[in-house]
Amino acid sequence: MGLGTFSTGALALATLNSIGVLAASAPHCVGDKSDICFSWGVPEAAIQSGTGNVYFQIRAPKSYEWTALGIGNQMRGAEIFLMYQDGAGNVTLSTRSGVGHVMPQYTQRSEVELLAGSGVVGDEMVANVRCGDCQKADLKSSSGWISAWKVGDPINSKDLSANIPYHDDHSIFQIDLSKASVSSDSNPFTSTDTGSNPAGNNPTNGNGSNGNGNGSSGGGGGNIVSGGSSGGPVSNALLYGHGILMMIVWVILYPAGALLMPFIGKWMFHAAFQTIAFLAMWAGLGMGYVLSNRLGIFWQNTHTRLGIMVCALMFLQPILGALHHTNFKKQGRRGAVSHIHVWYGRALIILGIINGGLGLKLASSGMAFRTAYIVLSAVIAGPYFLSIPYLEMRKARASKNQPTSGSSSKGPAGSAVSDESSSR
């Protein structure tokens, strides 16, 4: 919206004040350019009783694919209001429930209504909203709110369950709604309030009408925001860093390292390669922990729980490998610890690859990432697992042809170096 339009909106709000209508709160703006703004207004009667309508406005440039505002301190359990263009000059407001750090799912709410002034207004999307059942919002003091957004091509859909890609950034803040008082229980964001969607749409379908230019967020109210933090580029860097590094570890390094021993026969190469993968895994886990803790989703979903457990179990694998090597040097043949080392490692690799897929689902990753993961798993990890029957048969033949300890001049220690590769 240009400066001239903003001035018109400000003038409309000044007119509202002059006839005794208290303006909505001063806008709280987020994003790198502070161009995503939210405002609130709560009727005085609702503040006094602690229950009633909450009015708020979501405003963002059309360059954003979607913008969302939610009530809660984290995505899990949050009441989310998602705004995107419907392709007909209006906006779609989709009421959703947060279930963790995944795409929130549509939840029908009859007490949420898109009001007059909503739509595509100039270069901006605007949603003026009345919420009559915002149970998580504390009307008498501060409560937690969250927001998120994604830059991109417009969704252009009236589907309330439309898929949305992973957000670019997010913000968490506290809102004191007791300071957002308005005298009238009506739309505080327009000079002419119809009290309902002027297009006559069902309030639950989420489709607003074209705005009339009076949907200004205003500035007559006081500052009601306290605290606040943003994910910022650091969170995105952690997200991509964690995902890419763990994909390399579980899909490429561990399977490739496991193949070094039977095909090359040099246990030192195998040990060195797997040590690199082992250290990279812990680095990836560290990034994942910081990211999930920052987003408030640590140990709250299958991906984070399984990831911690698999990495913790992998801590035993180097120990089992050392015991296998020591035992083989002494005995010249595979023992129980050898079988445990081999099959334990294979099981963990499978779990790690599965958990990577769960991570992509958790992050609502795009088709490009999912395709890359599937292709790499098929090309790199696939041959490893397909080769297992061949490796097991080769081990069986080697064990059958292995001389007894008394018939070899090399002895167990001497034959270990040449035969250990067939035991993997």
pLDDT per residue over 4-15, tens digit each? 333 333 333 333
Q: Give 231's pLDDT tier (boundaries 50, 70, 90).
A: low
Structure tokens at 51: 């229950």
CB contact at 8 A, 172 and 72:
no
Q: What is the CA radius of gyration of the chain?
A: 30
Q: Which tens digit of pLDDT belongs to each residue from 143-159? A: 889 999 999 999 999 99
| C-alpha–C-alpha distance, residues 170 and 62, integer Å | 18
- Per-residue model confidence as pLDDT tens digits over 284-323: 999 999 988 776 678 878 999 999 999 999 999 999 998 9
| pLDDT for 314 | 97
pTM to 2 decimals? 0.54
Measure the N-to-C terminal CA separation of the chain; round to a whole number of Å.
66
Q: What is the rounded distance in angstroms from the CA atom of residue 337 to the CA atom of residue 266?
A: 19
Per-residue pLDDT of 159-172, as tens digits, reads: 999 999 888 888 88
pLDDT level of residue 110 (50, 70, 90 thresholds)? very high
Q: What is the pLDDT of residue 299?
A: 86
Angstrom distance (rounded) from CA 231 to CA 171? 6
Maximum mean pLDDT: which of 254-268, 276-290, 383-397: 276-290
When pLDDT is averaged across residues 228-253 and rounded to a whole number, the result is 80
Q: Rounded distance, CA 149 to CA 35, Å? A: 11
